[in-house]
């Protein structure tokens, strides 16, 4: 089992819709969870961090964490073409190393 798993996509959503990106992790001792956005050919950019169960909202982005189910998700409301990118889930586990999933490619269509 991979430490951090994501569906590779592509996830295609129309402009203005809600995009839902999911991530599961295997280390029950994980304490910190992050979402990064990576445009093609560029380095990852941090967009959300979440540390406790529940929802955390920042503008059009909402991160959701459920430690019991070992599940973290990212919702993007009012999706825009500029949101088209690969979204990486990262988890900081008990070994204190930051582990990434393989990423989900999001395509926002006009």
Partner 1 sequence: DGGITQSPKYLFRKEGQNVTLSCEQNLNHDAMYWYRQDPGQGLRLIYYSQIVNDFQKGDIAEGYSVSREKKESFPLTVTSAQKNPTAFYLCASSLGINTEAFFGQGTRLTVV
Q: Are 19 and 108 in contact (CB under 8 A)?
A: yes
Beta-carbon contacts of 90 under 8 Å, excluding residues fewer than 6 positions away, are 4, 33, 34, 35, 36, 98, 99, 100, 101
Note whether 53 binds partner 1 by CB under 8 A: no
Please tell me what DSSP assigns to residue 18: P
Report, in Å, the least distance between residue 98 CB and partner 1: 6
Note whether 12 binds partner 1 by CB under 8 A: no
Note whether 69 binds partner 1 by CB under 8 A: no
Binding-site ranges for partner 1 (CB under 8 A):
6, 31-32, 34, 42-46, 49, 51, 88, 90, 92, 96-103
């Amino acid at each position: 089992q991979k430490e951090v798993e994501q569906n590779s996509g592509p996830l295609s959503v129309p402009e203005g819709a809600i995009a839902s990106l999911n991530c599961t992790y295997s280390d029950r001792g994980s304490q910190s969870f992050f979402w990064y956005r990576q445009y093609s050919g560029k380095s990852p950019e941090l967009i959300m961090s979440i540390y406790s169960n529940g929802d955390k909202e920042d503008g059009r982005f909402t991160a959701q964490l459920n430690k019991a189910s070992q599940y973290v998700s990212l919702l993007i409301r009012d999706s825009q073409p500029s949101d088209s990118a690969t979204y990486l889930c990262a988890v900081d586990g008990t070994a204190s190393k930051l582990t990434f999933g393989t990423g989900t490619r999001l395509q926002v269509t006009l």
